[in-house]
Each structure stands twice: as structure tokens, then as C-alpha cells.
Amino acid sequence: MIDLRKMTRQFLMNEGKQQVKWQTLIQSVEEALSSIRTGSLRDTRRVELARHNLKEIKRHLRKANERIDTLEEQLRILEENNNVEKKEK
């Protein structure tokens, strides 16, 4: 029988390992924005808006990563407790 819980857990725990780090992607976008030479005030404002939006994205991603770390730790604790309870029975 297929253990969907186990498959889901493995997917969630291994998901971050296969992806490019978001910090690297954001840094490359920041570097690209800083290398743009604007010719008009309109373009300057667009680049500044993009920098502001990127800063907000970084803030939200940092909070999301902190939440993920907390949830992963809680999952480990629950699994350990579950294993202890199984051993006691």
C-alpha cells in the first residue's frame, strides 16, 4: 500500500534542497538593477520602485524561511514523540 504521508513528508523535507537559493537569485537581480543606467527621471523611478519591491520580497522570504525552519523543527519533535510512543507499546 502506498504511504501518502511518507511521500508528502519526503517531498516537503527535500523541496528546498533541489532549488537554487533565493538569496542568490535576489543578489543577481540587485546587481542587474544597480548596473542599469537610467536616462530619464521616469526610468530612475522605475528602477527605484523595483529595488523597493525587491527589498520587500527579501523581507517576506526571510520571514517565510524562519517559519519553515520552525515548522520543520516541530515536525521532527512530533516524529520523535511518535517513535517513542510506538516503542513503548
Query: Cα 9–12–13 angle (5° rounding)?
Result: 80
Of the candidates 11, 1, 2, the residue with the CA atom closest to the CA atom of residue 75? 11
The average confidence (pLDDT) of the chain is 86
Q: What is the pLDDT of residues 10-47, one digit of tens each?
A: 777 776 555 568 888 899 999 999 999 999 999 999 99
Residue 63 belongs to domain spanning: 19-88
Residue 5 lies in a domain: no
Which comes out higher in pLDDT, residue 5 or 51? 51
Q: What whole-number distance in Å separates Cα of residue 7 and Cα of residue 3?
A: 6
Residue 67 lies in a domain: yes
Question: Under DSSP, is residue 35 helix (H, G, I), strand (E, B) or coil?
Answer: helix
Instruction: Please give the tally of structural domains in the chain.
Output: 1
If you average pLDDT over residues 1-18, what whole number do you get? 69
CB count in 10 Å sphere of residue 2: 6
Report the predicted TM-score, pTM, of the whole model to 2 decimal places: 0.64
